[in-house]
Amino acid sequence: MPLAFITPCANTLFSLLLSSLISSHICNTHSFSQSSSSYCLFPSPLNSNSSATKAALIQMTRDIALDNGSFGIRVNCVAPGPIFTQGGTVQHAKMSNISLVDMCDSLSKDVALRRMGKIKEVAKTVAFLASEDSSYITGSCLQCDGGFFRK
């Protein structure tokens, strides 16, 4: 199966399944967060499949929130920007045959904070959206991207 087909399926299939469980109240939850990407908010070369499906997740978040708000279920989305991960950043640097420092510098140049984010920072964002501290937030996409602006 071509990668161009797998990416959209992987990005949206889990969200569709979980939204149907929430809508049918099989999944007993009051807050649900899914992950999109700040990259879908700006044009990116060779990234149309991923960007389109990540943008679709943001719209699905709004729709699911609207459908389930009257049941007290909040649905939000987190859109991380460049986040340092062993499986992503490190592997991408190796596959691209460039140093990890150069990879991080390249990814950080479009970030206002001039650094890559940490997994823990995204996790804290999701924890906030799941907490009572965000009890009046639903249908939103919270960017956790250090001020990522594609030039």
Q: Which domains occur in the chain, in start order?
A: 3-144 (3.40.50.720)
Measuring CA to CA, which residue among 60, 83, 103, 65 is closest to residue 144? 83
Q: Are 53 and 11 in contact (CB under 8 A)?
A: yes
Q: pLDDT tens, 94-147? A: 888 999 999 999 989 989 999 999 999 999 999 999 999 999 999 999 999 999
5: its two tokens? 């087909």
- % of the chain surpassing 90 pLDDT: 37
Angle (deg, nearest 10), helices 48-68 and 3-23: 10
Asked whether residue 79 carries a pLDDT value surpassing 80, the answer given is yes
* Alpha carbons 4 and 2: distance in angstroms, whole number: 5
* Alpha carbons 144 and 36: distance in angstroms, whole number: 10
- Higher per-residue pLDDT: 36 or 16: 36
Q: Which amino acid is at 93?
A: A
Q: Is the pTM of this model over 0.85?
A: no
Asked whether residue 1 carries a pLDDT value surpassing 50, the answer given is no
